Amino acid sequence: MMEYKIALLEGDGIGPEVVAEAVKVLLAVEKKFGVRFNFEKALIGGCAYDEYKTPLPQQTIDICKASDAVILGAVGDWKYDMLPPDVRPEKALLGIRKALNLFANLRPAIVYDELSSSSTLKSEVVSGVDIMIVRELTGDVYFGTPRGIEVVNGEKVGYNNMIYKESEIERIAHVAFQTAMKRNKKLCSVDKANVLDVSRLWREVMERVAKSYPEVTLSHMYVDNAAMQLIRDPKQFDVIVTGNIFGDILSDEASMLVGSLGMLASASLSDGKIGMYEPIHGSAPDLRGKDVVNPIATILSAAMMMKYSFSRSDIYDSIDNAVKLVLSEGYRTQDIYTDAVQKLVGTAKMGDLIAEKVIA
């Protein structure tokens, strides 16, 4: 029997609720596929600050490094907004990515046929959309130094640095090209090379790496145009590769193609064994404990874990098909509920239904 050690970082707000549903589905996977998961919880974000006065304790990093994969819920709460920047919950996200060298973030945006009416765009625009956004995760303005806020000539000045080394661009380029090779061999690199020096370097490296993948068609697009094209004609894209801040923004925009942030999973990968899997939505502290949030993004993140960390595409397919079956039967959480004919369910019930389909 294969055994996997999984670190559970539930985090804040709705994080514990959605992680619980992912665990529920993985326990169903145990019964169906004869594998075993050994879960170990660790604190991250605001709950970690409350306990240890830091949003990312060393013991959390140690637990993650000793695990085969990590499932993360969400971090943050308005009550921490007045904390110093270096101990705010969101700082833990950057910290854990850096500590585990999670430089490659895969964010699929897939419009299920059952949810084409949930998008704010016309069904004919979004139906059939299947995009993979490959986002560089440990560079760019989120990590560039120097950074800060200073008083210059009597007024405050804030500054951050967009910085990429050739080696950082090259490794994410290889991930993107390899991803494209497994799909439709079409890659669009998004930058701002008409304005930014760092983007000109980005484009230069992408062109160089492209020579190693002659079967892949590489195109380039400025980020402002890409933001427009994602809404105008999303089906023109297959794989998109871009930097940290552009990827953050574009992947959230892509969630509206799908209909809800509650449907978008993600995988953050390193060049080692550890991957971290999380929904792209936030902690939504106003919804905590109300049993109304959509756990599907977290459940699909667990499915991605099976595919990318453990090479179990069969289990990925089983979870993905279970989600499709539940949606085809009309079950919806409030974020994707659009028609009175549909069956409105809560967080826990949605997890129950998907787990039942996995076992069936």
Pick the catalytic residue from 4, 142, 308, 316.
142
Q: Rounded CA gap, 120 and 159, in Å? A: 36
Pick the catalytic residue from 238, 252, 291, 352.
252
Has domain 120-258 been given CATH number 3.30.230.10?
A: no
- Domain residue ranges in the chain: 1-104+261-360, 120-258
The pLDDT, as a whole number, for residue 117 is 77
Pick the catalytic residue from 192, 213, 316, 357.
192
The pLDDT, as a whole number, for residue 229 is 97
Pick the catalytic residue from 12, 140, 191, 248.
248
Tell me the HSE value of 240 on the side-chain side, using a 13 A CA sphere: 31
Residues of the chain scoring pLDDT < 50: none
Phi-psi region of 177 (alpha: psi -120 to 50; beta: other; left: phi over 0): alpha
Strand partners, 151: 156
Q: What is the DSSP string of 40-101?
A: EE---THHHHHHHSSSS-HHHHHHHHTSSEEEEEE---GGGTTS-GGGSTHHHHHHHHHHTT
Q: What is the CA radius of gyration of the chain?
A: 20
Say whether 224 is catalytic. yes
Indicate the class that CATH gives domain 1-104+261-360.
alpha beta
Pick the catalytic residue from 224, 271, 286, 314.
224
The pLDDT, as a whole number, for residue 118 is 77
Pairing type for strands 275-279 and 343-344 reads unpaired
DSSP-based three-state secondary structure for 28: helix
The pLDDT, as a whole number, for residue 102 is 95
The pLDDT, as a whole number, for residue 59 is 97
Asked whether the beta carbons of 111 and 127 are under 8 A apart, the reply is yes
* 57-70 confidence digits (pLDDT tens): 999 999 999 999 99
The pLDDT, as a whole number, for residue 119 is 81
Pairing type for strands 69-74 and 3-11 reads parallel
* 230-284 confidence digits (pLDDT tens): 999 999 999 999 999 999 999 889 888 887 888 999 999 998 778 999 999 999 9
Say whether 291 is catalytic. no
The pLDDT, as a whole number, for residue 265 is 95
Supply the pTM of this predicted model: 0.90
Q: What does each C-alpha distance from 35 to 26, 59, 315 come to in angstroms?
A: 9, 27, 10
